[in-house]
């Protein structure tokens, strides 16, 4: 069938892009090139002066580089293009409080002698884009990107550090009952939402907390374009995170369009019936790890069936258009929190963005 062929090809590209063997080969090539050229291991660090994540990374950089015997070069860049950061005011406000939380979590103090990045920001931004990124507070090391403090643990492992010797390990979530409740805003097209959905329900049970699912439309289906360098980085970064978390990832069938709409329609009915988590996890696994086509009856039937939903139930849900109003209400709620991306979380008056902020959700639940 032509449709099956298209999905197969769509799945093959990401599998190549996220292949461990190819990643290892790229690392090996860069390492050999460095050795043959008589050069030292050097981090290229892209900093936006005054930007909270850049400032945080700059404060951590000298000690980190010294510990691992690395050279580094700080390069000045301006704010990301709007296509990569469509809500710059929200991003700036959120970055301020989020970076403060990270600073406290890792015990990073502000330097008395802050790093002054060098070079022409426009030229540096062109180099960054050519090599596959769009944001500030980023490290490039021999073919791979590492986002700020949050991804230093991946770089540390690459440099040979063991798990118990990491300087910046992922912040651990609480492991005891907290009670309370939290909301999760997510998109069926977001691979980061997939990673969060495969963990948040289990953590909610561990915390004896109530979890409310709040799906929204993907950015691209809200007429917000996503640049290629952002898409490719996200897929590769999600693969690293998925490996760390033990979650399958890489055989992808992008559900954008009809796949997302059909999934949202079923999810809209499944949530009040107590099957929202089961269907969301089944859908996410299908499109991000198994290459199932959510726009096809065959793919969606598989996703619904293993979530305990029969095909008649799914078909009835698909023709119900009431999900549109619900997901738009969820989007408006999320924006009212000063958040624009997914996954995002709300705990009472607190809110956080990112699959790697579940630890923060747990701490807020602890505080009551």
Low-confidence ranges of the chain (pLDDT < 70): 1-12, 223
Phi, then psi, of 271 in degrees rounded to 5: -60, -55
pLDDT score at 4: 40
pLDDT score at 219: 83
Tokens of 110: 């502000």
Q: How far apart are CA 128 and CA 133, in angstroms?
A: 6
Q: How far apart are CA 55 and CA 212, in angstroms?
A: 34
What does the pLDDT look like over 228-265, one tens digit per residue?
899 999 999 999 999 999 999 999 999 999 999 999 99
pLDDT score at 6: 38
What does the pLDDT look like over 318-327, one tens digit per residue?
999 999 999 9
pLDDT score at 223: 66
Output the DSSP codes for 331-364: HHHHHHTT--SSSEEEETTEEEESGGGHHHHHHH
DSSP helix, strand, coil percent of the chain (3-state; round to 5):
55, 10, 35
Phi, then psi, of 107 in degrees rounded to 5: 65, 40
Q: How far apart are CA 139 and CA 39, in angstroms?
A: 18
54: left (phi over 0), alpha (psi -120 to 50) or beta: alpha
Angle between helices 276-289 and 258-270 (to 10 degrees): 160
Element (H, E) at 286: helix 276-289
Asked if residue 344 lies in contact with residue 212, where contact means CB atoms within 8 angstroms, the answer is: no
pLDDT score at 226: 82
Tokens of 69: 């015997």
Residue 236, classified by CB atoms within 10 Å of its CB into exposed (0-12), middle (13-18) or buried (19+), is middle
Q: How far apart are CA 289 and CA 253, in angstroms?
A: 8
- What strand order describes the sheet that includes 181-186? 210-215, 181-186, 344-347, 350-353
For each of the domains in the chain, give its residue range(s) and CATH number, in order of start: 40-165 (3.40.30.10), 181-367 (3.40.30.10)
Asked if residue 283 lies in contact with residue 302, where contact means CB atoms within 8 angstroms, the answer is: no
DSSP β-bridge partners for residue 186: 215
Asked if residue 93 lies in contact with residue 85, where contact means CB atoms within 8 angstroms, the answer is: no
pLDDT score at 65: 98
Q: How far apart are CA 364 and CA 368, in angstroms?
A: 6
């Amino acid at each position: 069938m032509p449709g099956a062929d298209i999905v197969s090809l769509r799945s093959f590209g990401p599998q190549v892009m996220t292949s461990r063997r190819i990643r290892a080969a790229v690392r090996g090539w860069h390492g050999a090139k460095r050795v043959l050229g008589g050069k030292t291991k050097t981090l290229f660090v892209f900093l936006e002066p005054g930007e909270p994540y850049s400032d945080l990374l700059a404060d951590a950089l000298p000690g980190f580089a010294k510990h691992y015997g690395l050279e580094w070069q700080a390069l000045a860049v301006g704010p990301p293009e709007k296509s990569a950061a469509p809500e710059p005011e929200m991003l700036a406000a959120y970055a301020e409080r989020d970076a403060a939380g990270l600073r406290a979590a890792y015990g990073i103090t502000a330097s008395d002698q802050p790093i002054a990045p060098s070079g022409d920001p426009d030229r540096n931004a062109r180099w960054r884009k050519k090599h596959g990124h769009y944001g500030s507070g980023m490290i490039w090391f021999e073919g791979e990107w590492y986002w700020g403090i949050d991804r230093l643990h991946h770089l540390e492992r690459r440099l040979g550090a063991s798990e118990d010797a990491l300087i910046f390990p992922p912040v651990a979530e609480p492991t005891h009952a907290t009670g309370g409740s939290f909301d999760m805003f997510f998109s069926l097209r977001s691979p980061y939402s997939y990673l969060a959905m495969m963990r948040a329900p289990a953590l909610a049970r561990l915390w004896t907390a109530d979890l409310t699912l709040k799906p929204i439309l993907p950015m691209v289906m809200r007429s917000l374009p996503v640049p290629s360098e952002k898409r490719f980085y996200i897929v590769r970064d999600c693969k690293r995170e998925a490996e760390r978390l033990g979650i399958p990832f890489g055989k992808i069938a992008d559900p954008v369009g009809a796949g997302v709409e059909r999934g949202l329609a079923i999810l809209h009915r499944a949530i009040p019936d107590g099957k929202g988590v089961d269907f969301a996890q089944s859908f996410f696994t299908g499109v991000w790890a198994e290459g199932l086509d959510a726009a096809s009856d065959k793919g969606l039937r598989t996703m619904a069936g293993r979530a305990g939903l029969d095909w008649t139930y799914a078909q009835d849900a698909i023709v119900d258009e009431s999900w549109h109003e619900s997901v738009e209400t969820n989007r408006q709620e999320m924006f009212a929190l000063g958040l624009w991306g997914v996954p995002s979380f709300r705990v009472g008056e607190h809110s956080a963005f990112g699959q790697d902020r579940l630890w923060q959700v747990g701490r807020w639940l602890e505080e009551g």
